[in-house]
């Protein structure tokens, strides 16, 4: 590991104002330290933000929750308000990583974790995200875990977070502090960027900008579910996951929020999929139509071709479970 300076921040303001080229924040470190050991990240200075006063969870006046960026994944999953009002988030959190990692990983860090593309972590192989312009070894290589939606000629990596998928379905807002003291509110859908021809740029944060809180709106109406398909029962990233929130009144779907993990370079959400469902009676045929819309532009790269039919089956099964008591029999 390359040598680096270490600064313990006393305040969020001091942390953001100490940033500059070669300076990184560190909190739980569950992803960053691995990247540093492999010399994929080589900061000159680490600013330790882990002791800042950003660890609480509070009710908002609007009826939502304000989550400090340093709340651990374990504490967030166990919070009674999260379990009761946002079960999709609690279930997504508990499906991620291992208990030891969840005890260290923070909410802000989880949002910004890097892809688990094998070639990104192998410095002997070409990777446009790690070394822009060098190529992409995953295309034509072993790409079982890569994305099938939102990819580019430069990069086909998938976003690894479960938590962020649930937060995308819940319309979370990311609150940040900028050097100089200004704050920003960023809709979670605007936090992430598609790879395009700059896959090394993964989010819309500015240099030195620090995530301080995540705000959830009031709990949505309807049933919530997080369904994750993976290679083993624990400590595995999603091949496909669905965070679903669906409300049905008088046997008609009145609202739907669906976000997907494992399929795209960001927690994936497609308003057209939800629009297909709203105002209709739940049925397997309708769910198949929604899957057609979701996957219309999906592209496999060989080893990950299976994700396209898997995503279809996972979405249909999730919607069936969310609407079981109102499901309309399809005509024979």
Among 35, 47, 54, 157, which residue sits at the site for ligand SF4 (rule: CB under 6 A)?
Answer: 157
Q: Of 201 and 281, which CB lies nearer to ligand SF4 in the complex structure?
A: 201
Q: Of 4 and 142, which CB lies nearer to ligand SF4 in the complex structure?
A: 142
Fill in the per-residue mask, 105 to 124: x = in contact with ligand SF4 (CB under 6 A), - = not in contact.
----------x-x-xx----
Cα 319 from chain centroid (whole Å): 20
Q: Of 30 and 128, which CB lies nearer to ligand SF4 in the complex structure?
A: 128
- Which range, of 127-135, 181-189, 240-248, 292-300, touches ligand SF4 by CB under 6 A? 127-135
As measured in angstroms, the least distance from the Cβ of 43 to ligand SF4 is: 20
Q: Of 116 and 280, which CB lies nearer to ligand SF4 in the complex structure?
A: 116
Residues that bind ligand SF4 (rule: CB under 6 A) add up to a total of: 15
State the Rg of the chain over Cα: 20
Give the tokens for residue 188: 């979670």
Q: DSSP of 93-158, one letter per residue?
A: HHTSS-HHHHHH-BHHHHHHPPP--GGGG-TTS-BTTTSTTS-BTTTTS--TTS-SSS--SS--PP
Fill in the per-residue mask, 165 to 204: x = in contact with ligand SF4 (CB under 6 A), - = not in contact.
----------------------------------x-----
Fill in the per-residue mask, 291 to 330: x = in contact with ligand SF4 (CB under 6 A), - = not in contact.
----------------------------------------
Cα 66 from chain centroid (whole Å): 18
How far apart, in Å, do the first and last CA atoms of the chain sit? Answer: 63
Q: 18: which DSSP letter?
A: T
As measured in angstroms, the least distance from the Cβ of 121 to ligand SF4 is: 9
As measured in angstroms, the least distance from the Cβ of 35 to ligand SF4 is: 12
Among 46, 111, 136, 145, which residue sits at the site for ligand SF4 (rule: CB under 6 A)?
Answer: 136
Those residues whose C-beta lies under 8 Å from the C-beta of residue 18, and which sit 6 or more positions away, are 7, 9, 47
Q: Judged by CB under 6 A, does residue 128 bind ligand SF4? A: yes
As measured in angstroms, the least distance from the Cβ of 273 to ligand SF4 is: 25
Among 89, 138, 210, 322, which residue sits at the site for ligand SF4 (rule: CB under 6 A)?
Answer: 138
Those residues whose C-beta lies under 8 Å from the C-beta of residue 217, and which sit 6 or more positions away, are 62, 63, 64, 170, 171, 172, 173
The span from the CA of 79 to the CA of 237, in Å, is 23
As measured in angstroms, the least distance from the Cβ of 307 to ligand SF4 is: 14
With tokens 């600064």, the residue in question is 7
Q: Which of 199, 262, 172, 191 is closest to 226 using CA atoms?
A: 262
Q: Judged by CB under 6 A, does residue 161 bind ligand SF4? A: no
As measured in angstroms, the least distance from the Cβ of 196 to ligand SF4 is: 12
The span from the CA of 260 to the CA of 298, in Å, is 13
Alpha helices (H) in 280-306, listed in sequence order: 284-294
As measured in angstroms, the least distance from the Cβ of 260 to ligand SF4 is: 18
**Residues within the interface to ligand SF4 (CB under 6 A):** 115, 117, 119-120, 127-129, 136-138, 146, 155-157, 199
């Amino acid at each position: 590991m390359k040598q680096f300076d270490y600064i313990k921040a006393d305040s969020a303001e001091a942390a953001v104002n100490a940033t500059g080229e070669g300076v990184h924040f560190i909190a739980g470190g569950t992803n960053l330290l691995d990247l540093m050991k492999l010399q994929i990240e080589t900061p000159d200075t680490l600013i330790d933000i882990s002791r800042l006063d950003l660890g609480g969870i509070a009710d908002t006046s609007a009826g939502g929750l304000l989550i400090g960026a340093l709340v651990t994944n374990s504490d967030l999953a166990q919070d009674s308000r999260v379990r009761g009002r946002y079960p999709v988030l609690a279930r997504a959190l508990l499906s991620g990583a291992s208990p030891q990692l969840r005890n260290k990983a923070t909410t802000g860090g989880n949002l910004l974790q890097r892809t688990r593309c094998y070639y990104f972590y192998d410095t002997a192989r070409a990777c446009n995200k790690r070394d822009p312009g060098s190529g992409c070894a995953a295309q034509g290589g072993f790409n079982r875990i890569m994305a099938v939606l939102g990819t580019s000629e430069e990069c086909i990596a998938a976003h690894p977070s479960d938590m962020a998928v649930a937060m995308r379905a819940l319309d979370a807002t990311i609150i940040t502090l900028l050097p100089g003291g200004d704050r920003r509110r960023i809709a979670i859908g605007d936090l992430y960027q598609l790879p395009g021809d700059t896959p090394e740029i993964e989010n819309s944060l500015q240099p030195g900008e620090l995530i301080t809180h995540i705000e959830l709106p009031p709990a949505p109406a309807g049933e919530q579910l997080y369904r994750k398909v993976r290679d083993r029962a624990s400590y595995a990233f999603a091949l496909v996951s669905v965070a679903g929130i669906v409300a049905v009144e008088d046997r008609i779907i009145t609202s739907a929020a669906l976000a997907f993990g494992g399929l795209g370079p960001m927690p994936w959400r497609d308003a057209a999929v939800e629009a297909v469902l709203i105002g209709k009676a739940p049925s397997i045929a309708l769910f198949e139509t929604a899957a057609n819309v979701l996957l219309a532009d999906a592209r496999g790269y060989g080893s990950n071709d299976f994700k396209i039919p898997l995503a279809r089956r996972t979405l249909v099964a999730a919607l069936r479970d969310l609407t079981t008591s109102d499901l309309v029999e399809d005509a024979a």
